[in-house]
Copies of this chain bind each other. A is one copy, B any other.
């Protein structure tokens, strides 16, 4: 269901009473710490409730197996706020963010629904991802260090010699890691951010798309070819291999992903 029981955690008890002469205590505490140690303390992460709610909701949504059933999955603002122990406002702001990222749909006076991507949308996302990652591959051939590229090769050490079949689950993780690393090595923040969102969406259908063993075998060969092209600094070839690899997945989805729609 939508909301599992949450332990009645006490999030930020907000004292209605304002202890008047305070403020100096906290300040002095911090000050002494800083004075003795110029090394900056890791800024005490104070993510707002909005960010926390966002992260929690996103995790919850991504963890759902939303394509198993076709029934609408509705989220209840008030209930979620209650479960989180916060008010509706940060939940709403988190929801608005998730809507702009395509994870939920806010229907006025109807409810908030988890979005199921259609087959067409999935293919469009993979195509866009192909565009971004192939550009990342170009950039890697021009700016990445040999060591960085070597790191890509090391990822697949476990699977040398055709042990892919035996460890499909693990391979699936490495597979994702590989593609994320490609993007990251581009050192292009825009590419990284855009691709990350697409990736998150694709992880949600991963369970069903990466299942086939034949694809895993072909996949690892593709990856090796890509790595070789990157090592050889063959810009155009690396781009092409990455693009075709991704578009191959798009084609696969187009033909076999009947569970979509």
Contacts and interface: CB of A to CB of B under 8 A. Distances in A.
A128 B32 contact: no
A3 B127 CA distance: 41
A238 interface: no
Chain A's interface size range is 35 or more
A251 interface: no
**SS class, residues of chain A in contact with chain B:** helix
Quickly give the copy total for this chain. Answer: 2
Contacts of A99: 32
Interface in A86-123: 92-93, 96-97, 99-102, 105, 108, 115, 117-118, 120-121
Interface stretch (A132-140, A145-153, A205-213): A132-140
A190 B125 contact: yes
A61 interface: no
A131 interface: yes
A47 B118 CA distance: 26
B132 A36 contact: no
B34 A121 contact: no
A184 B102 CA distance: 20
